[in-house]
């Protein structure tokens, strides 16, 4: 049996939360003496209570705010390829029951038993984001198990996540197995085709999390003009066109993203009803308002305005401003969809900011709003019951 180092809770720390499944141990909850501080980031360790009773096997990183990530029960002393394969098999079973095609989030971090690890699947290519030190240490085993379980030929490492810096990790993307696709990958979703750039795009190349919100919004867009702001590769716009929207205008600050959206429109057979506009979203919304433009469906899906608690107040003001500028662009009886992927802005705070912004945007018009739907990430992004951060995505659909 391998003799592992021990991380011990401080005497006043109640271990019941961890015994009941909470996956993180913070640095201020532990006795971090010279020996524990010397544990190499990503090493396995035994988490024990103040009385030295083992609680769990954890991945240690004494230099991180999250100093321990729970991996398994106490008593296990090493991770093998079979350990990774068993968890990947469980994750794969869910996705294969949900989706007919192999395009989905295969691993959603803690909720799938892989703390800090995200894996998105694009057919025979998987893109891994190892955002915690333990995953970087065990990357060879993870990749071997991933290829074995899924049959994937290619495995890429995406190292651009903000969390990697907090874990003391590099930002170097790599090909871990096989080869990188030499062109964007076509992804069928909600009746449309999206083009995913797996090596030069944002995050892993495509956002699977909005799939059910694309579908809900698209179902209301038939025969209407659609405005998709922060469109990326055409998320809401292409789904709406596939569902019969009259036209769609995609707005984004990235020309490469808009080029991919245009290619997706061509592959989806809707290019004649699709157009793009490059620019700052706030500026474009302001200009469209000044021009008197209106649309039957307006969607705003910005990046995280409040990625952390210090950014919360500024982020909520930004969400309110987006709602204020977007609301007047919605024709009577149309819909306004407002999204947030900010961990720090919970649903109540986000909803309050959006309602305040809509109220300001429609002030003195005599119009009112109905909140008709609250959406979240798709089921391939399961939520850890004790970790609210895994349920980060919110989508509010208003009828104005």
Q: For tokens 């007919």, what's the residue?
A: 100
Buried b (16+ CB within 10 A) or exposed e, 150-183: bebebbbbbbebebbebbebeeeeeebbeeebee
Is residue 345 within 8 Å of 317, Cβ to Cβ? no
Torsion of CA 171, 209, 215, 361, to 10 degrees: -80
Buried b (16+ CB within 10 A) or exposed e, 198-223: beebbebbbbbbbbbbbbbbbebbee
Sign of the CA dihedral running 357, 394, 238, 318: positive
DSSP string, 188-203: EETTEEEEE-TTTSST
341 an active-site residue?
yes
* Options 126, 300, 339, 341, the catalytic residue: 341
Please tell me the distance from the alpha carbon of residue 273 to that of residue 225, in angstroms, as a whole number.
9
Token pair in block for residue 285:
């919304």
Please tell me the distance from the alpha carbon of residue 63 to that of residue 22, in angstroms, as a whole number.
20
Active site residues: 341
């Amino acid at each position: 049996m391998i003799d592992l180092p021990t991380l011990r809770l401080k005497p006043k720390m109640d271990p019941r939360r961890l015994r009941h499944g909470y996956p993180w141990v913070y640095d201020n909850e532990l006795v971090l003496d010279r020996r524990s501080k010397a544990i190499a980031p990503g090493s396995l360790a035994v988490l024990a209570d103040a009385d030295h009773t083992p609680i769990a096997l954890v991945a240690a990183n004494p230099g991180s705010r999250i100093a321990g990530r729970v991996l398994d029960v106490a008593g296990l002393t090493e991770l093998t390829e079979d350990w990774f394969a068993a968890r990947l098999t469980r994750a794969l079973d869910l996705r294969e029951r949900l989706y007919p095609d192999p395009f989905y989030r295969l691993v959603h971090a803690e909720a799938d038993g892989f703390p800090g690890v995200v894996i998105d699947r694009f057919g025979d290519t998987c893109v891994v984001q190892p955002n915690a030190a333990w995953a970087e240490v065990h990357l060879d085993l993870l990749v071997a198990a991933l290829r074995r379980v899924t049959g994937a030929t290619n495995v890429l490492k995406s190292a651009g996540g903000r969390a990697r810096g907090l874990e003391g990790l590099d930002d170097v993307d790599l090909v871990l197995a096989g080869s990188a696709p030499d062109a964007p990958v076509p992804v069928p979703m909600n009746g449309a085709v999206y083009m995913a750039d797996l090596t030069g795009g944002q995050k892993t190349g495509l956002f699977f999390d909005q799939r059910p919100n694309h579908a809900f919004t698209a179902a209301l867009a038939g025969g209407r003009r659609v405005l998709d702001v922060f469109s990326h590769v055409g998320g809401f716009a292409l789904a709406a066109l596939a569902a019969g929207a009259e036209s769609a205008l995609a707005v984004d600050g990235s020309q490469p993203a808009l080029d991919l959206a245009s290619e997706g429109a061509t592959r989806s057979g809707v290019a004649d009803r699709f157009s793009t506009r490059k620019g700052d979203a706030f500026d474009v919304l302001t200009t469209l308002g000044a021009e008197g433009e209106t649309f039957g469906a307006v969607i705003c899906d910005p990046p995280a305005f409040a990625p952390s608690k210090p950014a919360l107040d500024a982020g909520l003001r930004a969400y309110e401003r987006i709602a204020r500028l977007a609301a007047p662009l919605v024709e009577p009886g149309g819909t306004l969809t407002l999204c947030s992927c900010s961990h720090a802005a919970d649903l109540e705070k986000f909803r309050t900011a959006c309602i305040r912004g809509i109220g300001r945007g429609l002030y003195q018009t005599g119009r009112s709003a109905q909140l008709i739907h609250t959406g979240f990430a798709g089921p391939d992004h399961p939520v850890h019951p004790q970790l609210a951060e895994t349920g980060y995505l919110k989508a509010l659909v208003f009828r104005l």
